[in-house]
Each structure stands twice: as structure tokens, then as C-alpha cells.
């Protein structure tokens, strides 16, 4: 599943091809996505794209009459290609530009979304989202205050979008390892000092992943590319049974909140 860094890299990759160009057409081949694609998406046709922003894992393609809101779901990919490029299986939506290019959404599992947001109107799915993790609005004081009395595992706590958006499974595992915190510990029993360390490492692992993903930006304009995913060094995620690179002990795995969780019993307490 694409996580926040992958979505941010998608935004960076498609933005130069979209901003200041006009949407000539919206071609919807399959409306049955996570939510049915509304007819309102056609309202942006004929209008210039002013900006491409991100909120959590949603991309917002902004025009004067409203925004297209895109979500990649579990398997969605975006490519900027010539509008005449032959279709492949699961090419569900084209946003056709006046330049002859189009932004094409391919989504085999159809858990993605294409929605319309009117100017100054808030989509209900944004109502309960917490702050962006790479902004000043997300800090250790907030994390510590919200954790008080929480009996849920700290990993589940930091993956709660009402607490902070975009800390997905991979990066929750990695941040907790770097902060030296056992992911199974109750969120309410972790000190303010340790939350300060955790906040710093959440920001660190996400920023580092976005930087690493910058090497793939050219892939968004390749017909046969696989954009949005990139190799990165991981300390614990997916490494059950391997030796910890820090201490040499075997990395453990446990399911927490229906997600595989990886940790080192020696390095994390």
C-alpha cells in the first residue's frame, strides 16, 4: 500500500506536468472505485490547474471551480503519459490536458478514489484528520498529551490518523525502532522524554523516505514505469528472523492492530 512518502513523491512527480495547464477532458472508464466516482468531477474540464497539494494520503488537483481529490488506495499508480498511449488493464481514469498529455490512474484492486471538492467546502473524510507529520503542528507535546490514559499499543496510537496523519505501518515500525520504544507498550505509559525522541524519528524517517523517493520522479513520465515505489534501507520492517544491524539479536514479529509489526527486543524497551 502506498504510504505518505510514496504519495508525496507522486505529488512531486506529477506536479510539473499539471500545474498551469488546462484540463481538456476527464475520461472515466470505471466508476466503481472505493466510492463511486461522481459526475461532478467533470466540472473541472476547461479549467486551469492552479496547484497540486497533498492532505494525508490524498492528492488535491486544484482549479478555480474546485479540486479533484485522488487516493491511490492499496494498488493505485499514477503516470503522466501521452493521451493516445494504448490502454492496459485497470486503466480506470484519464485526466486529459491541453498539452496532449494525461494523468492516468491504474488501480487493479479499485480501492482508490477520484472525488470532487467544491471551493471552500470540506470533504467529510478530512474532518477528523490530525496534523501533517512534517509540520510544526505535529510535536511531542501533542503526542504526549493525547497519549495520556491510552491503553492501546503505542504503534497503533501513532498510526491513528486522528493523532497524526500518514504514519503508516512501515514508518511506524522504523520510527519506533530508532526511538528505542517497544511497539507493544501501552501508549499512556511512555514518558514525555521518549515521546520527544519518537516525534523526532517519525519526522526523520518520513523526510528521509521522501528524499530517497526523489530519485524516481522521472518514472512518472514513462509509459512502462512503475512510479511511486522506491528502494530504501529499512532497519526492522519485513526482517523477521534476521539479525538486528545494531545489536545482532534476532528481529521479532507480532501482529498488532491486524498489521505485522517488527522489533528488536534488545534495542526496544
Could you list the pLDDT tens digit for every one of the 269 residues in the chain?
Answer: 678 988 998 999 899 999 999 999 999 999 999 999 999 999 999 999 999 999 999 999 999 999 999 999 988 899 999 999 999 999 999 999 999 999 999 999 999 999 999 998 878 889 999 999 999 999 999 999 999 999 999 999 999 999 999 999 999 999 999 999 999 999 999 999 999 999 999 999 999 998 887 655 666 655 444 544 556 789 999 999 999 999 999 999 999 999 999 999 999 99
Note if 2 is an active site residue.
yes
Q: Sort residue 153 into left (φ over 0), alpha (ψ -120 to 50) or beta.
A: beta
Annotated binding-site residue numbers for DNA: 90, 109, 150
In the block, which residue shows the cell 511497539?
Answer: 183
State which fold the 140-263 domain adopts. Helicase, Ruva Protein; domain 3 (1.10.8)
Note if 259 is an active site residue.
yes
Domain ranges of the chain: 4-126, 140-263
Out of 11, 54, 57, 79, pick the active-site residue: 57
Instruction: Look up the CATH superfamily of 4-126.
Output: MutM-like, N-terminal (3.20.190.10)
Residue 165 to residue 56: CA distance in whole angstroms: 5
Amino acid at each position: 500500500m502506498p504510504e505518505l512518502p510514496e504519495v508525496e513523491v507522486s505529488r512531486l512527480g506529477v506536479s510539473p506536468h499539471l500545474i498551469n495547464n488546462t484540463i481538456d477532458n476527464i475520461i472515466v472508464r470505471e466508476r466503481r472505485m472505493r466510492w463511486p466516482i461522481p459526475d461532478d468531477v467533470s466540472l473541472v474540464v476547461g479549467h486551469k490547474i492552479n496547484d497540486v497539494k497533498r492532505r494525508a494520503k490524498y492528492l488535491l488537483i486544484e482549479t478555480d471551480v474546485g479540486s479533484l481529490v485522488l487516493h491511490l488506495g492499496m494498488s493505485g499508480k499514477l503516470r503522466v503519459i501521452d493521451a493516445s498511449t494504448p490502454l492496459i488493464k485497470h486503466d480506470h481514469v484519464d485526466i486529459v490536458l491541453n498539452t496532449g498529455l494525461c494523468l492516468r490512474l491504474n488501480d487493479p484492486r479499485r480501492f482508490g478514489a477520484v472525488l470532487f471538492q467544491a471551493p471552500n467546502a470540506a470533504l467529510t473524510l478530512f474532518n477528523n484528520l490530525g496534523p501533517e507529520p512534517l509540520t510544526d503542528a505535529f510535536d511531542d507535546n501533542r503526542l504526549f498529551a493525547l497519549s495520556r490514559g491510552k491503553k492501546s499499543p503505542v504503534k497503533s496510537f501513532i498510526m491513528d490518523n486522528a493523532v497524526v496523519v500518514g504514519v503508516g505501518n512501515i514508518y511506524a515500525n522504523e520510527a519506533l525502532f530508532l526511538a528505542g520504544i517497544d511497539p507493544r507498550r501501552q501508549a499512556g505509559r511512555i514518558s514525555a522524554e521518549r515521546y520527544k525522541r519518537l516525534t523526532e524519528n517519525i519526522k526523520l524517517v518520513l523526510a528521509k523516505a521522501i528524499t530517497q523517493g526523489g530519485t524516481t520522479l522521472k518514472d512518472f513520465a514513462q509509459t512502462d514505469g512503475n512510479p511511486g515505489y522506491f528502494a530504501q534501507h529499512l532497519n526492522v520492517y519485513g526482517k523477521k528472523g534476521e539479525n538486528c544491524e545494531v545489536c545482532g539479536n534476532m528481529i521479532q514479529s507480532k501482529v498488532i492492530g491486524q498489521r505485522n509489526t517488527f522489533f528488536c527486543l534488545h534495542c526496544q524497551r
